[in-house]
Structure formats: C-alpha cells, structure tokens
Structure 1
C-alpha cells in the first residue's frame, strides 16, 4: 500500500503534467520541479525542547518501597550491623523518615541479642540526609522495654 506522502506527491506531479502544454517544451526539462503547494513533511515536526511545566523541575516522588529499601541499606552500610527490617516509614516534606531495626549485639542464645532502632532521613531521591539511633533494647522486650539511647 503506498504511503500517504507518496500519493500526495504523485497527485501534485499529475496536476503539473495537466497544466503543461500538449507539446513538449524544453523549459520544463531544465527547470527543477516547483511544487504547486508548500510541501509538508511526512511526519509532524517534533519540538526541539519538550514543553516545560508551569512548576519548577521536581523529581517524581520516591515510592515508599524504595525509600524503605534505601533507609535499610544506609543503616547497614553506616553501622555494619545486620538489619532485621523496617519498623516505620513516614513521608516528610523533603523525603522520608525510615525506622530500621538492627541487631546491635549478637548473643547466645539469640533470645538475649541486643537490638536497636535507627531513624533514617532520606531525600526524594533516596539519598541519606541523616540518621540516629533512637532506641536500644534486649530482644523480647520490644515496645514494653525501657528505652536507652
């Protein structure tokens, strides 16, 4: 099936042939073809730059799942302790606050391990803003135990 651009060009060429005199005229052989109508490109022109939104450039907000993962990885890297999981996750104006529980001190039996919760602030891209230990406690004394910082 012929493309629309080709059919349009053939139609213009046929109109020019009908407009020419019946006898061959050499001036038509030497002159470049001039279109009767302005040529339109086959594809619409793409703007050089995308349209700018009315608001300043802002990165898409970091999804909660990725913020939690980023916080967990930052704590593991900074403390060299083994994280047991994410205990809290809150969106802030600048990004996220992530609570991460880690094993501070492994003991035998494991029921006597010392655990800690770190609070990590990450920005909208998941980069570390800050962190601090907010709680340290023996395993099994979770929320009911005394807090020490």
Structure 2
C-alpha cells in the first residue's frame, strides 16, 4: 500500500505543471486567432484590387502606394480608363482606395487622369 501512495503523489505533483502549459497553449491560440483576423499585406493588396475591380469594372494595372493607417489601409492604384490607339494616348487614372482594418474596401476616389505616355508635370516657380 505504501507503493500505491507513492504512485499517487507524483501524479498529483504533475497536475500543476499541466495547468501552466494549458494557459500557454490558450494564450497561443488567442494570438493565432488575432493573427488570423488581421490580414497580411499581400492579402490586403489582392483583396483590395479584386473589390475595386468589382465595384468599378476597372482593373488595377499597378499599385503605386500602399500604407497602413490608424484605422486600416490606404493604397493608390493606377488603372486604364480608356484604351486608345496608339497605346500612349490611352487614358489612365490614379485612384486612392481605402480599406478597414480587416481589408474590406470602405471607399475610393479618383485622384487624377492622364495620358499613358505623359509624365507628371513639374511646375517652376
């Protein structure tokens, strides 16, 4: 019987060690869930381009600016608005696209239109 008592003591002493492990595991699970809710930058870019195209029927040719803001994401995309021949005469546009923290499009606006072959003008003062 002394042997049975010794066997139960080590089992009881092992239980407190399992409790911290479980709290560490649950903490890790919480971190994983938080990370799962927060999209990665490339996921945000892909989703933003897809949402923008669905809303405007314009395909983003490039993303020229991308940054994290206090309440989400902001990016600037270049799109072909009107195809012309020659291609250098096609009308391009630059749009500011705003997304929430989860990567859902919350708004967009056109910043400017220009011919594809034209560089930004510099004004001398």
Q: TM-score w.r.t. structure 1 length?
A: 0.59
Instruction: Identify, as 1 or 2, the structure richer in strand.
Output: 2
Superposed displacement of residue 73, structure 1 = 2.0
- 2:83 is equivalent to residue 110 of structure 1: no
Query: Per the alignment, in what secondary structure is the counterpart of residue 5 of structure 2?
Result: coil
Aligned length: 110
Gaps of 5+ in 2: none
Question: Which moved further from structure 2: 124-133 or 36-45?
Answer: 36-45
Alpha-carbon distance in 1 for matches of 2:113, 2:52:
15
Name the structure, 1 or 2, with higher relative contact order (CA <8 Å, separation 6+). 2
2:26 to 27, 31, 50: 50
Query: Per the alignment, in what secondary structure is the counterpart of residue 108 of structure 1?
Result: coil
Gaps of 5+ in 1: 1-12, 17-33
Contact 1:81 1:104 (8 Å CA) reproduced: yes
Q: Following superposition of structure 1 onto structure 2, how do residues 32-111 of structure 1 map, counting pairs within 5 Å? A: 35-36=5-6, 37-38=8-9, 39-40=11-12, 44-45=18-19, 46-47=22-23, 50-51=26-27, 62-111=39-88
Q: TM-score w.r.t. structure 2 length?
A: 0.68
Larger radius of gyration: 1
1:139 to 113, 116, 121: 116
Contact 1:107 1:113 (8 Å CA) reproduced: yes
